[in-house]
C-alpha cells in the first residue's frame, strides 16, 4: 500500500511536512530537557540529560528521514 502524496509546484509532500513538524517537536523537547539539567537533584539531572540525549537522537533520525524524503521527490 502506497498512499498518494500530494505534490507539485509550491506544495510540500504530506510526509515531508509531518516529518518537519515532528523534527521541530523533538528539538524543542531536547531544549526543554537541557534547561532542566540544573535541577538540584542529581538523579533528576541525570534523567533530564538522558531524555535530552534521546530527543536529540530522535531529531537526527527524523532529519535523516526528511532528507531521504526530499531527495526522493
Mean pLDDT across 21-47: 83
Contact between 44 and 53 (Cβ < 8 Å): no
Please list the residues that pair with 8 across neighbouring strands: 11
> pTM score, two decimals?
0.67
Judged against a pLDDT cut of 50, whether residue 1 lies above it is answered with no
Judged against a pLDDT cut of 80, whether residue 59 lies above it is answered with yes
Judged against a pLDDT cut of 80, whether residue 4 lies above it is answered with no
- The end-to-end CA distance of the chain, in Å, is 18
pLDDT on residue 17: 83
> With bands split at pLDDT 50, 70 and 90, how would you rate the model's confidence at 15?
confident
> With bands split at pLDDT 50, 70 and 90, how would you rate the model's confidence at 61?
very high
Amino acid at each position: 500500500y502506497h498512499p498518494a502524496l500530494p505534490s507539485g509546484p509550491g506544495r510540500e509532500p504530506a510526509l515531508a511536512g509531518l516529518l518537519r513538524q515532528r523534527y521541530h517537536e523533538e528539538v524543542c523537547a531536547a531544549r526543554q530537557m537541557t534547561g532542566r539539567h540544573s535541577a538540584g537533584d542529581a538523579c533528576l539531572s541525570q534523567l533530564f540529560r538522558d531524555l535530552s540525549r534521546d530527543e536529540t537522537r530522535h531529531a537526527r533520525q527524523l532529519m535523516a528521514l526528511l532528507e531521504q524524503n526530499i531527495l526522493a521527490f
